[in-house]
Amino acid sequence: MGTPGERAVGEHYGREGLEERISAALRSAGADPLAPSVEELHAVDQLHTRGVRATLELAELAGASPGERVLDVGGGLGGPARILASRFGCRVVVLDVTEEFCRVGALLTARAGLGERVLFRHGSALEIPFPDASFDLAWTQHSTMNIPDKDRLYREIHRVLKPGGRLAMHEILAGPSGPPRRFPLPWAASPALSHLLPPNRMRASLSRAGLRELAWSDVTPQTAEWLKTRSSGRPSGPPPEAFANLLLSIREGRATAVQALLERPEAQLDGNGSR
């Protein structure tokens, strides 16, 4: 499925033995791998910087509400999706290009008792397999760094959002000195898989797609502090070296972190001023 680039991304994340490594980590933490709580899964399913805190901050920023339909684009194992479902009452679809993430994520979700509120779909963010105006909220949390065609990505997100729907994003961007030079990074073993834009170009891409900015916050300092505490990798994630390289990239001015909220306006004017 997907382009050669998407298949390479799937291979980067979808390493063999993922389910077994997660089960072993849960057992070592005293949890039952066959019936873990959402909270017990946090140690293995928050595949982004700053962990649960960042997810909760983004959900509050987005105003996530009970009954809302959410699309988590590039949602991995579904860690944020399970939080949105269990704490905020949302109904979530996780879309990911990595088939193993979808398989294991659905398994973990069912074991945590959320199989009816969080669904997984294997597919491309550049061809989102849902009709127009399907979702109240779109969510990306460290899921755009592997995607070179940001314009197409955000056009697709705009398309599947209902009028008035929001996009909540927590992403790593290029820094003022350019993109990172140290690899591996958490999302890429080599430069071929890393596609970071600086903030001004990312905002321009979002605007071209018709998404209106409501909030934009630089969370690079908090991210750097969190990375200082990363002494070991997660069973579901990259090795410690990748986090060390991300911290060095931030210090070198070659990576930044942002949280933002955008919306698809209720009505948009065309070039003639008509709705």
Domains present along the chain, CATH in parentheses = 4-263 (3.40.50.150)
pLDDT, residue 267, reads 76
Percent of the chain topping pLDDT 70? 89
State mean pLDDT over 210-222.
99
pLDDT for residue 2 is more than 60:
no
For residue 65, the tally of other CB atoms under 10 A from its CB is 12
pLDDT, residue 51, reads 94
State mean pLDDT over 152-163.
99
Q: Give the integer Cα–Cα distance in Å for 252 and 179.
A: 10
pLDDT digits (tens, 9 = 90+) for 181-212: 999 999 999 999 999 999 999 999 999 999 99
pLDDT, residue 3, reads 63
pLDDT digits (tens, 9 = 90+) for 8-22: 554 555 467 999 999
pLDDT mean across residues, the chain: 92
For residue 33, the tally of other CB atoms under 10 A from its CB is 17
Q: In this structure, are strands 135-141 and 118-122 parallel, antiparallel, or unpaired?
A: unpaired
pLDDT digits (tens, 9 = 90+) for 68-105: 999 999 999 999 999 999 999 999 999 999 999 999 99
Cα angle: 172, vertex 175, 178; to 5 degrees: 120
- How would residue 271 be classed by pLDDT, with cut points 50, 70 and 90? very low
Beta bridge partners of 171: 258
pTM of this structure: 0.90
**What are the DSSP calls for 198-229, one per residue?**
PHHHHHHHHHHTTPEEEEEEE-HHHHHHHHHT
